[in-house]
Amino acid sequence: MSPHIVALLSGPDQKGLVSKVSGWIFDNGGNIIHADQHRDAEAGVFFQRVEWALDGDTTPTAVATSFQSFGDSIGMKTKVAIAGEKPKVAIFVSKFDHCFHDLILRWKAGEYPCEIALIISNHQTLRESARQYGIPFHHIPVSKANKADAEAEQLALLKQEGIDLVIMARYMQILSAIFLDTFGKPVINIHHSFLPAFAGARPYHQAHAKGVKLIGATAHYATPDLDQGPIIHQDVARITHRNSVDDLVRKGRDLEKFTLAQAVRWHLENRILVYGNKTVVFD
């Protein structure tokens, strides 16, 4: 199978962008496999995802570098990935294990083109599970008193392992602005409510107290503002007055697993473009 390149472009809308991109790919020996685009009419921003196959004599790395320069030359913010390359992923988790197991089992089944390189937790609860999966587990307790030191230790591990993506699989801690800025790579979080409703702690209890008829889960990129990052995916379930808080928690866990799993898949397949505090997700 010939190598594939995936490119994500965004920038000011202008005439001829699709033609310029497809022309460049043709001129450089590529064959477009899939292309999709979107225009935000209000903001005047153009978005495109394009995937193409290379001929046998072309080096994927050289093509990726060259296309990056081409994207810059036409005024587009450009991200280029080589299909088949597997980014290294770290999972942050606390005690709740439903998203943790779901992600790893999907990865073990070959659903995710990545390498889950390590697990970091502020509790020992899932150490044995990590050992059974064959993934290195690092216990780093976190408290108000040691938070800065704990994050420094986490960052050192991420740098040492060359981690490209952090997944917060119900990691019940807030990552500081310093952590996010220093890591400088995507962090995906799952929040157990339909944001922007019920941000912060105990959202199922908040939802039950409000008597809502829908509960949800939201996967988003983490930012320094709590539960305010660009939303990748959301899902909901109906509830009634008969449902207790425990019922909401049970229903919510299924939502959390699916919502996080889908968001991670889209990210790993290079289908997400972030602009401002929004995302464009190409199917």
Give catalytic residues, as residue numbers: 227
The DSSP 8-state label assigned to residue 161 in this structure reads: H
Q: Which two tokens stand for residue 148?
A: 């800065």
Q: Across the beta sheet with 214-221, what order do the strands follow?
A: 137-139, 115-121, 88-93, 165-168, 187-191, 214-221, 231-238
Q: How far is residue 238's CA from residue 240's CA, in Å, rounded to a whole number? A: 7
Q: Which two tokens stand for residue 162?
A: 């060359």
Q: How far is residue 78's CA from residue 66's CA, in Å, rounded to a whole number? A: 11
Chain-centroid distance of CA 213 in Å reads: 28
Q: CA distances (Å), 22 to each of 30, 82, 116, 258, in order?
A: 9, 17, 34, 35
Candidates 215, 226, 161, 241; CA nearest to 189 is 226
Helix pair 245-268, 203-210: axis angle to 10 deg: 130
| Helix, strand or coil, per DSSP, at residue 133 | helix
